[in-house]
Amino acid sequence: MIDYHIHSNFSPDSNSNVEDIVKYAKEKNLKVIITDHYEAVEKDHNFKFDIESYKETMKKYGLLVGVEFGWDGKSKIDIDLKEFDFVILSYHAYKDYSDIQLMYENYLKNLYNIIEVINDFHVLGHLDFPRRFVENNEPFSKKLYPLISEIFKKIIKEGKILEVNTSAIYRYGEPNPSYDILKLYRDLGGKYVTIGSDAHRLEDVGRGIYDTLGNLKDLGFEYIMVLNDGKWDMEKIV
């Protein structure tokens, strides 16, 4: 099976060594893509992503060169996403509001504007991401589903893939996006999904993948998208 969202010590928030990730994944019979952070945001935390060293390291271990690209929708983009074999587009920059649903609404509007501008990505990462950090992990209201539907219609039309991110399962029992939102995606005709643990620690690589695949099958998803020799294939969920 696959895990297509993993962070190594090329990210500022992970200490996992690439060699250790590769060994651990082999033990777990996982095909992995490491997707370290590249953030184009106003506050870059003074972290310098050494792209050339990163590429060389991935090549050394026979891995595709992945990236999780985060953009706030306004900062200068000084990277060519075509340099990467696999690009997750994520939106991490959201403002705290006393009204959680209003914050979610603004998050979705900004995310839609971002995917209107950026097309050089393969996967839309962890939709409903802010839910991880609010009180009681309040879910997105169904009143926001029309906004979410517009995002889904756009990525479906453009052949993009939706990520099922298992990290939140161990916070509140559901992936990002939630199962209800995944059902909405399916009902709108969405069928392209990939899956990742969003592991920032070695022991979290592959965490939640197998159980979540079973739940996806129950929702009507038949396939998971995988990269083979640089080409996308549909692998049946069994």
**CATH of residue 181:** 3.20.20.140
**Mean pLDDT value across residues 189-210:** 98
Q: 179-187 vs 145-157: helix axis angle to the nearest 10?
A: 50
What pTM was estimated for this model as a whole? 0.96
The structural domain count of the chain equals 1
Burial (0-12, 13-18, 19+ Cβ within 10 Å), 99: exposed
Domain coverage including residue 221:
2-236
Q: Which residues contact 11 (CB under 8 A, 6 or more apart)?
A: 36, 37, 200
**Peptide linkage before 177 cis (omega within 30 of 0):** yes
pLDDT over 70, % of the chain: 98
Q: Which residues contact 59 (CB under 8 A, 6 or more apart)?
A: 65
- Residue 45's pLDDT is 55
Find the angle CA(232)-CA(166)-CA(67) to the nearest 5 degrees. 50
Q: List the single range of 71-75, 175-179, 202-206 with lowest mean pLDDT.
A: 71-75
State the chain's mean pLDDT as an integer: 95
HSE-CB at 178 with a 13 A cutoff on CA atoms is 17
Q: Which residues contact 103 (CB under 8 A, 6 or more apart)?
A: 94, 95, 96, 97, 130, 134
**Mean pLDDT value across residues 139-163:** 98
- Residue 42's pLDDT is 73
Residue 107 scores a pLDDT above 60: yes
Q: For 27-36, how does the pLDDT look when each residue is reduced to its tens digit (9 = 90+)?
A: 999 999 999 9
Residue 96 scores a pLDDT above 80: no
**Mean pLDDT value across residues 109-135:** 96
- Residue 93's pLDDT is 78
Residue 43 scores a pLDDT above 70: no
- Residue 97's pLDDT is 75
Of 80 and 94, the one with more pLDDT: 80
